[in-house]
Structures are given as C-alpha cells and as structure tokens.
C-alpha cells in the first residue's frame, strides 16, 4: 500500500541518535499514519528554513536574507551571532545558507570578536553587495 511507504525523511528520523525524536516519529506513524508524519516534517522544515535560529551553536541575533541570484543556491543571507561562551559582548558575522540535505542553516566566511556596532556595519555591508528579495 502506498500509504505505508516511508520517505527518506521518515527513515532519517527513525535512525536518529536522538531517542526522543525516534520514539516521537514511531508514535506519530502508529497513530496518524505516514502522510501525517510527512506533512509534519515538511512543515517543520519550512519553519526552520524561514530564518536561522543558531549558527555554529550560537544564537542568531540578526539576519538578512539575500534575493535569488541566477546560479546561486536559494536560502542565502548574512547573520550576526552572539558569543555566549565568554559573555564578553562580542559578536560574529557569518554568510549563511540553507543546506537542503541536513535541513539546517550553515555559516561560512565568519568575522569574529566584533563589537555590536562593527557587526551591524559588516552585516549591512554584506547585504548591500547582494541582490535583495
């Protein structure tokens, strides 16, 4: 039956190292069926894709999404993250992109240990050089 087919997303959740996630997916599959699980996974992925919450384990404080450039991956932008480990009031700026395979935001080209004012200026400088949505 087509309803009992599992997608790659469901299979990935079933093999997760997170016991709570694995049990939740199994319970949902039993009580609601695979179509509901697939819809839930799609909904959660779209929530995660809207804006990054964390980059490299650090909370995102500011984010600007770039427009779609020809030949570029969709879901790109620039983000400011906080350095919470040292509580120094220092910030990091990253170019970020949505990774379809891992379903999370990844950061590259980081500039680290900046003041808030310098981080905001860098955020705006990077955004100004890109196509806007």
Model confidence, pTM: 0.67
Place of tokens 């570029």: 72
Percent of the chain residues topping a pLDDT of 70: 81
In a domain, 133, yes or no: no
| 3-class secondary-structure state, position 54 | strand
- 42 and 59 in a single domain? The answer is no
pLDDT at 3 over 60: no
Contacting residues for 96 by C-beta, under 8 A, at least 6 apart: 52, 55, 63, 76, 77, 78, 79, 105, 106, 107, 108
Please check whether residues 65 and 9 belong to one and the same domain.
no
pLDDT digits (tens, 9 = 90+) for 46-62: 777 888 988 988 899 99
Based on the domain organization, do 115 and 74 belong to the same domain? yes
* pLDDT computed for residue 61 by the predictor: 93
Instruction: Give the range of the structural domain holding residue 23, as residue numbers without chain letter.
Output: 2-49
Q: Is residue 82 part of a domain?
A: yes
> What sign does the CA torsion over 8, 107, 105, 57 have?
positive
What is the per-residue pLDDT across 69-118, written as a single tens digit (0 to 9) for each? 777 667 889 999 998 766 678 899 999 998 888 888 999 988 998 999 99
Q: Which residues pair with 104 in a beta bridge?
A: 99
Position 93 in a domain: yes
Domain count, the chain: 2
Residue 75 in tokens: 């879901």
For residues 61 and 33, state if they share a domain: no
Task: Tell me the pLDDT tens digit for each residue of 15-27.
Answer: 656 788 778 878 8
Of residues 25 and 132, more confidently modeled = 25
Do 90 and 57 belong together in one domain? yes
8 Å CB contact between 94 and 109 = yes
DSSP result, 71-113: TSPSSEEEEEEE-TTTTSS-EEEEEEEEETTTTEEEEEEEEEE
């Amino acid at each position: 039956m087509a309803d009992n087919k599992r997608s790659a997303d469901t299979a990935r959740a079933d093999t997760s190292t997170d016991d709570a996630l694995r049990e939740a997916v199994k319970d949902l599959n039993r009580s609601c069926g695979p179509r509901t699980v697939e819809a839930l996974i799609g909904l959660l992925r779209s929530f995660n894709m809207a804006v990054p919450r964390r980059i490299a384990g650090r909370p995102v404080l500011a984010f600007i999404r770039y427009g779609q450039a020809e030949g570029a991956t969709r879901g790109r932008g620039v983000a400011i993250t906080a350095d919470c480990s040292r509580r120094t009031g220092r910030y990091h700026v990253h170019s970020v992109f949505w990774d379809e395979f891992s379903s999370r935001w990844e950061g590259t080209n980081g500039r680290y240990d900046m003041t808030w004012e310098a981080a905001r200026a860098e955020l705006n400088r990077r955004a100004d050089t890109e196509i806007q949505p």
